[in-house]
Structure 1
Amino acid sequence: MSIAKNYLYNVVYQVINLLIPLITVPYVARALGADGVGINAYTNSIMQYFILFGTIGISLYGNRAIAYVRDNKEALSRTFFGILILKFITTGLAYLVFLLFLNNWSNYQSIFLLQSIYILAATIDISWLYMGLEDFKKTVIRNLMVKIVGVACIFIFVHDYGDLWKYVLILALSQLLGNLSLWMYLPKTIQKVKITWNDIKGHFMPSISLFIPQIAIQIYVVMNKIMLGYLANTSEVGLFDSSEKIIKMTLAVVTAMGVVMLPRMANTFAKGEIEKVKNYLYQSFDFASYLSFPMMFGLAGIANEFAPWFFGPGFEKTALLIFSISPILVFIAWSNVLGQQYLMPVGKVKGYTVSVIVGAIINFILNIFLIQYYQSVGAAIATVGAELAVTLVQLYWVRKTIEYHKLFQSMWKYLLSGILMFVVLRLIGSLLGVGPLTTILQVISGILIYFILLFILKSQMNKKLFSLGLQKLRKIS
């Protein structure tokens, strides 16, 4: 399947995972309040650590490992079962550790128990198999059906703060059933093979090599909410989490390319086609910049008029948070290309690891100093600082193999178009005020302005994508 089709499928998959909760956010925010939303975010953040230590980088490693052997069905099947059994063992141990934790933790015990369903969901998750095979269609279709049912259940069963446990249960079960649905395709994908202990343990150390950077990533992705809950309160966690959902939904459109390109890069590198790998990198980086700049300026531009009507009373602060966090759209887009699409597939995991460890340290230090004074805004600033650090370290790490001018040659066009778009969005917002119609007008205006300016500036990426789109339309008609 082509990179473009896989990208579109993965965009759909990533956006579904974030869009489903986003669709319910205005309703859930009003039903559960900032405290209820915060309790869910706080307990889920802690649960992510058990999932992280249970999967020990297996899913990310599995994607790459499958890509290396996908042309040999016997090797593919042996690799799959070896990784799967290892994952069963490690997540089983993680669940036992969770039960010990629960026995010694007094707050939100029932909510934590429901959140533990996510560990079971992670155990049976085999999406890494299909991603390694560059077959994203299956994951999209099956998960879409399960998620739609989950949304319906939220509107039917969640009505007030007392229904918090139902909300947590519905989200967790949706994840579990979505992952379980992928198993129906296994008989056509792999074959039965005899597995030895060596086939299992051989995947442990490579997984650990990717586990270390994932620990660092979780520190500055999840630690924000845990530190907010500890140093501030769960309401601040709810505000930060709601803002982050908006950013992550937008970010999924950009980072979806990373999941698609990792197996393609790994397979190309395995064939020794180094120049082709670099060419993929330059194109991906340019595409990531092309998308991330308008998203950053767009979200920052509409935040003041969007947040109050979307989230409802008590969530007014989310406008400032969305504005503050928006720069990570560019930084993560760049680090996703440099890290997941280049450093990891070509075996330079050390560079990726160093970058995220630096980011985690900076995030932790900034959180300590900023949260106590600025609460959720402090966490937002710390997040931006961490992501900037990760990107700068990765740029330094590839300096000897990658030509910077090829990465940034079109950047000024995206930056200029984004800034001019932002100015127009703020003018529209100031004139029309808060409301859904204002947001709709801002979004439409922003899209038109950005693309028109890029046509005027003769952007090659803009021309290429529109030409491709016109070709597809002609074929359909």
Structure 2
Amino acid sequence: MTSYYKTVIVIAIGQLINYGLPLLTFPLLIRAFDIDTYGYWIEANTLAQFAIVFGATGLGNALGALIVSKPDQESKLYSNILFLYICLCTVLTIGMLVSAPILNTFTLRASHGTALIRIVAMAIPIGSFNWLATQLFRLRKRATTGAVFDILIALGRLLAVVFAFFSHDILRFAWLYVISQGIITMLQVWVAYKRIPLSQLSQNTIKELIRASANISTISQANWLVMFGDRLMLAILSTSSAVAIYSASYQISLILVALSWPFLYILLPSIGERWKLQDELGIQQLIRKNIRIMFILLTPSVIGLGLIGDSLLRLLATKEFAQGGLLVGMIAAGVAIDNIGTNLQYLFFVQDRSHLLRPIYLSAAALNLIINLAAIPLFSYYGAGVTTFMTFAYILFRLQKATQMPLATLFDRKTLGRCLILCFPMGIWVWLTNSPSIIALLVSIGGGAIIYGLGIFLLGVLKIQDVKQLGKHS
């Protein structure tokens, strides 16, 4: 097995557990709490995620871009970014602790909301350092170690959810959640840095990291507002139950991230190596191949989720959460488009042209906000779903234009067309066989996968030699 296949398989297993396990814990949570209390939990976590994205995510991505361009300064970069993360997380956590009463007034509006927000504030350093460690494992090609910690973190969440199912106490559950995640994350960071010789702090290196993260942080923040800002807007403009319903549909759609991430995980280091060799044609081919394989995987997944979404939510949760497959389908399409667009983001990162991404994502965030202000009061979570899809489509369009490359250079439209054709017989099968029971859904999903899988070989979408050559991707 080539290193490419090994990395893809290991990362895929870790991500499927990381994103798939919440589909099993979700039924326990919504039975442990009522729909409003579950909504409070989602809202509090959304606030913490915003704080994480505000600084930590962009800084971690900046580290990746700098390591690719300056591999001889690894130790110095790793040491100084650790210091920056400690400072940043301290400031953000204290800020959320102090502002908890105000945040509760505008979002949760619950009697125990302030206490819940303060507990969840501890998730800021946890999520931030988890992302830093993930970047280190990725850049140092330690995919197996990274996947092991993804699984451990998912199991830690499962432990907390099982406790919630029996205790029915949201605050105790929140404490156990952050403590279990915190212990695993501390171990994760220790393992990530164990083999790295730390150097002295450098004012110049710190400035370089901050400068490099300026554009990327803006991109991360704007992208978060597009992806998760809908929940925040629902919390402000609608009800906690609407947040819970929308989040349940979004959680199901995040399985698409698990399908995409193994290929995105490998792409950035691969195109970084090509960029150092000034192999622009090789970079284009890598991105095109990556997008092509993602078309093959994501196209049936989006359509399948749209068809089984209602039945899946009825099975996992209650009929209150099942608001038809349209909401799940819209969100899934938006998530898929976002993952396709990430391929193009990486191109700007390695070319040190991330400043070109700032106006794209800022305008997308503004567009998302404006549409949501009108759509959510009128259509609640359906309005948020439409807005998510439209905004990600807008971002992909702008990204493609910014590359100044012909559409056919990046996207294999023939492959996408054939995938859509194959989704027609697959969709008929899924539509006829799916219902809210485990057996029916297994038959529906399994049969649909077989129909689509056979079709991609019969129509020549994917050939045996394509699979053999896929390992040459990197």
Q: Above 0.5 in TM-score?
A: yes
Aligned twin of 1:164: 170
Aligned twin of 1:228: 234
- Asked whether the equivalents of residues 224 and 367 of structure 1 are also in contact (C-alpha less than 8 Å), the reply is yes
SS at match of 1:189: coil
**Cα distance, 1:314 vs structure 2:** 2.3
Aligned twin of 1:30: 31
The yes-or-no answer on 1:260 pairing with 2:258 is no
Q: Which deviates further from its counterpart, 344-353 or 26-35?
A: 344-353
Aligned twin of 2:122: 117
Aligned twin of 2:76: 78
The yes-or-no answer on 1:393 pairing with 2:393 is no
Supply the distance in 1 between the matched residues of 2:193 and 2:220 (Cα, whole angstroms). Answer: 31
Aligned twin of 2:337: 331
Superposed CA offset, 1:265-293 (max 9, x none):
22331232222211211110101111110
- Asked whether the equivalents of residues 161 and 173 of structure 2 are also in contact (C-alpha less than 8 Å), the reply is yes
Aligned twin of 2:288: 282
SS at match of 2:142: coil
**Cα distance, 1:329 vs structure 2:** 4.2
Aligned twin of 2:211: 205
Supply the distance in 2 between the matched residues of 1:380 and 1:38 (Cα, whole angstroms). Answer: 17
SS at match of 2:350: coil
Residue from 303, 328, 331 that aligns with 1:297: 303
Supply the distance in 1 between the matched residues of 2:237 and 2:101 (Cα, whole angstroms). Answer: 24
Supply the distance in 2 between the matched residues of 1:468 and 1:400 (Cα, whole angstroms). Answer: 23
Matches within 5 A, 1:179-190: 179-186=185-192, 188-190=194-196
Matches within 5 A, 1:434-473: 434-460=436-462, 464-465=466-467
SS at match of 2:34: helix
321 and 187 in structure 1: CA distance in 2 versus 1, 3 angstrom threshold: closer
The yes-or-no answer on 1:428 pairing with 2:433 is yes
Superposed CA offset, 1:310-346 (max 9, x none):
2124222264421332322431232122223x22222
Aligned twin of 1:345: 350
Aligned twin of 1:413: 418
Q: Which deviates further from its counterpart, 88-97 or 364-373?
A: 88-97
The yes-or-no answer on 1:127 pairing with 2:134 is yes
The yes-or-no answer on 1:52 pairing with 2:53 is yes
Aligned twin of 2:323: 317
- Asked whether the equivalents of residues 66 and 133 of structure 1 are also in contact (C-alpha less than 8 Å), the reply is no
Supply the distance in 2 between the matched residues of 1:461 and 1:372 (Cα, whole angstroms). Answer: 49
Supply the distance in 2 between the matched residues of 1:405 and 1:204 (Cα, whole angstroms). Answer: 31
- Asked whether the equivalents of residues 15 and 150 of structure 2 are also in contact (C-alpha less than 8 Å), the reply is no
Q: Which deviates further from its counterpart, 401-410 or 312-321?
A: 401-410
- Asked whether the equivalents of residues 32 and 165 of structure 2 are also in contact (C-alpha less than 8 Å), the reply is yes
Supply the distance in 2 between the matched residues of 1:45 and 1:100 (Cα, whole angstroms). Answer: 17
- Asked whether the equivalents of residues 291 and 343 of structure 2 are also in contact (C-alpha less than 8 Å), the reply is yes
The yes-or-no answer on 1:354 pairing with 2:359 is yes
- In the alignment, residue 138 of structure 1 is paired with which amino acid? T
Q: Which deviates further from its counterpart, 212-221 or 356-365?
A: 356-365
175 and 249 in structure 1: CA distance in 2 versus 1, 3 angstrom threshold: farther
SS at match of 1:124: helix
Supply the distance in 2 between the matched residues of 1:19 and 1:88 (Cα, whole angstroms). Answer: 31
Unaligned stretches of 5+ in structure 1?
A: 470-477
186 and 389 in structure 1: CA distance in 2 versus 1, 3 angstrom threshold: closer
Aligned twin of 1:472: none
- Asked whether the equivalents of residues 296 and 327 of structure 1 are also in contact (C-alpha less than 8 Å), the reply is yes
358 and 415 in structure 1: CA distance in 2 versus 1, 3 angstrom threshold: farther
Superposed CA offset, 1:113-149 (max 9, x none):
1111111214533221111123221121134234324
- Asked whether the equivalents of residues 86 and 201 of structure 1 are also in contact (C-alpha less than 8 Å), the reply is no
Residue from 84, 87, 95 that aligns with 2:85: 87
Aligned twin of 1:380: 385
Q: Which deviates further from its counterpart, 321-330 or 400-409?
A: 400-409
Supply the distance in 1 between the matched residues of 2:190 and 2:326 (Cα, whole angstroms). Answer: 45
Superposed CA offset, 1:377-398 (max 9, x none):
1111111111111111112122
Equivalent pairs, count: 461
Aligned twin of 1:473: none
Aligned twin of 1:148: 155
263 and 405 in structure 1: CA distance in 2 versus 1, 3 angstrom threshold: closer
Supply the distance in 1 between the matched residues of 2:410 and 2:206 (Cα, whole angstroms). Answer: 44
Supply the distance in 2 between the matched residues of 1:56 and 1:322 (Cα, whole angstroms). Answer: 26
TM-score, length of structure 2 as denominator length: 0.90
**Cα distance, 1:254 vs structure 2:** 1.3
Unaligned stretches of 5+ in structure 2?
A: none
SS at match of 2:215: helix
SS at match of 1:344: helix
Superposed CA offset, 1:7-38 (max 9, x none):
33332333333223222001111221221221
Indicate the percent of aligned positions where both proteins have the same amino acid.
Answer: 16
**Cα distance, 1:191 vs structure 2:** 1.5
- The Cα RMSD (Å) is 2.4
- Asked whether the equivalents of residues 301 and 425 of structure 1 are also in contact (C-alpha less than 8 Å), the reply is yes
SS at match of 1:459: coil
Matches within 5 A, 1:58-73: 58-70=59-71, 72=72
- Asked whether the equivalents of residues 10 and 140 of structure 1 are also in contact (C-alpha less than 8 Å), the reply is yes
SS at match of 1:272: coil
Supply the distance in 1 between the matched residues of 2:344 and 2:363 (Cα, whole angstroms). Answer: 16
Supply the distance in 2 between the matched residues of 1:163 and 1:269 (Cα, whole angstroms). Answer: 53
- In the alignment, residue 456 of structure 1 is paired with which amino acid? L
- In the alignment, residue 281 of structure 2 is paired with which amino acid? E
**Cα distance, 1:43 vs structure 2:** 1.3
Aligned twin of 1:11: 12
- In the alignment, residue 332 of structure 1 is paired with which amino acid? D
Supply the distance in 2 between the matched residues of 1:369 and 1:135 (Cα, whole angstroms). Answer: 46
Supply the distance in 1 between the matched residues of 2:400 and 2:464 (Cα, whole angstroms). Answer: 25
The yes-or-no answer on 1:176 pairing with 2:169 is no
Supply the distance in 1 between the matched residues of 2:202 and 2:410 (Cα, whole angstroms). Answer: 49
